[in-house]
């Protein structure tokens, strides 16, 4: 098992790389831009993953005004949404000392023989709280810890489960994605919540990589793990429970929280079309209610991504700049989502960078 823990102290100043990337993205398409436009777009693509991955914790920059509260507070104890399937609803927000990094949905499935955890939260402390809830319900071994994708609010609680010696399971591309971002994820998010709240947090990469599809037996129920093509990220994994017909989608579905694009807008829309044609009883989104009906839960995300893609394509056809697209595209969606001002501009930047060369 490979893990990465940050030991060096960090100043309160924003990371120079993040500032440089943010400046480069904002400048793409601006008058007087010195570098070649294609090079600038390539830089934007490279930088977008860093910005989205650190989206919950940027401070000392334009993100300093990000809200510290939430539109929907966490639910406390996990809710049983189907027999043996439990979900803790995270808060809607960015990493702050107030929420301690508890800002995504986490869950677990209890079988006759073992337990599988699905996403672990944004710090080791959040993961420990989840583990305590599991242990209040069962003493069956925690045999699997599954991550739906790479973003820190979903994976940084993994360390809380090390002593259980589970298999850490993820998409085949998850390990490389986490290794590349480990130091940045740890440094930024420790700064956001504080060193005490972040104590014991580390990056733990998968020990089991899912290349296409894989089944896990928990005793009386089977989890089917499916590695998805690039969509929200390039390492999205869905988990289906056979006993309840519940699908954990991770951040392929957002509710309340505006979707964040760190993969491919074309791929995400295509995947949602595919998933919408599949029949499941309910889904667990990455952010929002503990459970939602399907395919109704997909429609707001499809509408938003469709508005972004359509608006960006129109801007490109009309010869407008990325900066103009950021200021104008899909603004009609603003009142439909929390955290819109924090993330929408970067979604437009990522979509522009992808769609300009299609």
- Give the H/E segment covering residue 38: helix 37-53
Q: What Cα–Cα distance (Å) separates residue 208 from each residue in 144, 145, 146?
A: 10, 10, 9
Predicted model pTM: 0.84
Report pLDDT digits (tens) over 245-269. 999 999 999 999 999 999 999 999 9
Q: Which of 201, 106, 220 is nearest to 159 (CA)?
A: 201
pLDDT at 126: 98
So what's the pLDDT on residue 76? 76
Higher pLDDT, 84 or 11: 84
Task: Report percent pLDDT > 90 for the chain.
Answer: 78
Question: What are the tens digits of pLDDT across the range 162-217?
Answer: 999 999 999 999 999 999 999 999 999 999 999 999 999 999 999 999 999 999 99
Q: How confident is the model at residue 5 (pLDDT cuts 50, 70, 90)?
A: confident
pLDDT of residue 3: 72
Q: Is the pLDDT of residue 29 over 80?
A: no
Q: Are 99 and 73 in contact (CB under 8 A)?
A: no
φ and ψ at residue 309, rounded to 5 degrees: -65, -45
Coil/strand/helix, residue 21: helix
- CA proximity to 56, closest of 12, 9, 121: 121
C-beta neighbour count of 327 within 10 angstroms: 12
Q: Are 104 and 144 in contact (CB under 8 A)?
A: no
- Comparing 13-17, 40-44, 235-239, 264-268, which segment has the lowest mean pLDDT? 13-17
Please report the pLDDT score of residue 256 as a whole number: 98
DSSP state of 197: T
Q: Which residues pair with 170 in a beta bridge?
A: 209
276-287 CB burial, b ≥16 within 10 A, e <16: eeeebebbbbbb
């Amino acid at each position: 098992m490979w893990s990465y823990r940050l030991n060096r102290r960090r100043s309160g100043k924003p990371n120079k790389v993040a500032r440089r990337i943010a400046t480069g993205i904002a400048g793409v398409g601006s008058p007087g831009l010195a570098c070649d436009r294609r090079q600038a777009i390539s830089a934007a693509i490279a930088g977008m993953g860093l910005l989205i991955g650190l989206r919950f914790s940027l401070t000392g920059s334009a993100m300093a005004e990000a809200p510290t509260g939430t539109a929907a507070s966490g639910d406390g104890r996990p809710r049983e949404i189907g027999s043996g399937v439990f979900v803790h609803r995270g808060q809607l927000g960015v990493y702050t000392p107030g929420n301690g990094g508890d800002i995504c949905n986490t869950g677990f499935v209890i079988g006759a023989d073992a337990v599988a955890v699905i996403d672990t939260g944004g710090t080791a402390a959040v993961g420990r709280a989840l583990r305590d809830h599991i242990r209040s319900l069962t003493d069956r071994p925690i045999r699997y810890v599954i991550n739906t994708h790479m973003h820190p609010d979903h994976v940084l609680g993994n360390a809380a489960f090390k002593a259980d010696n589970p298999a850490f399971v993820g998409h085949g591309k998850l390990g490389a994605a986490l290794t590349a971002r480990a130091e940045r994820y740890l440094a930024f998010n420790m700064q956001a919540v504080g060193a005490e709240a972040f104590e014991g947090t580390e990056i733990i990469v998968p020990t089991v990589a899912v290349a296409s599809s894989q089944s896990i037996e928990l005793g009386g129920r089977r989890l089917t793990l499916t590695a998805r093509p690039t969509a929200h990220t390039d390492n999205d994994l869905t988990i289906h429970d056979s006993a309840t017909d519940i699908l954990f989608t991770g951040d392929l579905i957002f509710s309340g929280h505006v979707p964040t694009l760190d993969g491919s807008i074309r791929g995400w829309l295509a995947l949602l079309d595919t998933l919408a044609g599949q029949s499941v009883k309910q889904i667990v989104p990455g952010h929002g209610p503990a459970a939602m009906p399907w395919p109704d839960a997909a429609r707001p995300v499809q509408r938003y991504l469709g508005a972004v893609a359509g608006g960006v394509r129109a801007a490109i056809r009309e010869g407008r700049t990325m900066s103009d697209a950021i200021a104008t595209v899909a603004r009609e969606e603003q009142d439909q989502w929390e955290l819109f001002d924090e993330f929408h501009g970067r979604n437009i930047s990522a979509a522009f960078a992808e769609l300009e060369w299609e």
